[in-house]
Structures are given as structure tokens and as C-alpha cells.
Amino acid sequence: MKAIELSQASKPLSEYAKELDEEIIVLTSDHKPVAALVSLKNVDTESLALSTDPEFMAIIEAAREEFRSGKRLSLEEMKQGLLE
């Protein structure tokens, strides 16, 4: 990850975007993150849309919390539920 202070950025945004590859560039203001440039070369638009959707992320977090609390099904229990 690379950080660039906005006041020190010397190139157009498009130039930084061309340099991305796998690295994330974090843009900062007064040393605080304000934005990030992330390569989307291997990301489909649906995955991108879901990863930025607050409602979907809340569903994922709720599922993670259920799993952490022990509320889970075995593969056999899932199969049985499909057959009912």
C-alpha cells in the first residue's frame, strides 16, 4: 500500500491509476485517509456493487456473528433441509 498526501500529488489522477496493478494507493489529507485507488482488473461489477452496498454488508456481518456464536448447520443438516 502506498500513501500520497493530496497536497504533494504531482501527477493527474489518471497517471496514478495507470500505475496501480495490485497495489492500493491511499490519498491522504493532513495524513488522514480520504480516498483510495484500487485496481478493479479482476473484479466484476456485481461483486463491486455488493461490496459497497451497506444492506448487503450488514447481512454478511450478521451471518458472521451467527457463525461466531455457534449458530451453524452441518452439511448433512443443510442437505436434510433441502429434502424437506
Span 15-65, pLDDT tens digits: 888 888 888 999 999 999 999 998 888 889 999 999 899 999 999 999 999
> 41 is written with which cell numbers?
482488473
- Residue where the block lists cell 479482476: 42
pLDDT (0 to 100) of residue 44: 92
Give residue limits of the domains in the chain.
Answer: 2-37, 45-83
Whether pTM exceeds 0.95: no
The Cα–Cα gap between 29 and 60 comes to: 31
- Residue where the block lists cell 456464536: 69
